Amino acid sequence: MVHHIRAEGDVFVPAKRDISVPTDKKAGDNKEHMFAFIYGLDGSEIWKLLTGLVKRWQDIVGDHADPSTGITPRLFVAALLSHYGSIISKRIRDAYVNVNICDSDLQTAMDILEEELPEPCHDQTIQIRKINKSLIDMNVKLTGTRSTMHYLAASADVLVNNITPFEMYVKTRLAEWPNSKKLIKALRKLDSYREKIRDHDKLVMVRKDMLQHKTDIEALQQHININVGMVSYD
Buried b / exposed e across 48-75, counting CB within 10 Å, b at 16+?
bbeeebbeebbbeeeeeeeebbbbbbbb
Q: Is 214 part of a structural domain of the chain? A: yes
Query: pLDDT band at residue 27, thresholds of 50, 70 and 90?
Result: very low
Q: Is 152 part of a structural domain of the chain? A: yes
Q: Is 13 part of a structural domain of the chain? A: no
Q: How many domains does the chain have?
A: 1
Higher model confidence: residue 75 or residue 120? Answer: 75
Q: Is 100 part of a structural domain of the chain? A: yes
Q: Is 27 part of a structural domain of the chain? A: no
Per-residue pLDDT at 177 exceeds 50 = yes
The pLDDT of 46-69, averaged and rounded, is: 74
Q: Is 221 part of a structural domain of the chain? A: yes
The pLDDT of 159-181, averaged and rounded, is: 89
Query: pLDDT band at residue 183, thresholds of 50, 70 and 90?
Result: very high
Q: Is 17 part of a structural domain of the chain? A: no
Query: pLDDT band at residue 200, thresholds of 50, 70 and 90?
Result: very high
Between helices 122-161 and 73-116, what is the axis angle to 10°? 160
Q: What is the pLDDT of residue 121?
A: 65
Q: What residues make up the domain containing 222?
A: 70-233
Q: What is the pLDDT of residue 205?
A: 93
The pLDDT of 141-168, averaged and rounded, is: 89
Which of these, 195, 174, 198, lies nearest to 68 by C-alpha position?
A: 195
Per-residue pLDDT at 28 exceeds 70 = no
Q: Is 54 part of a structural domain of the chain? A: no
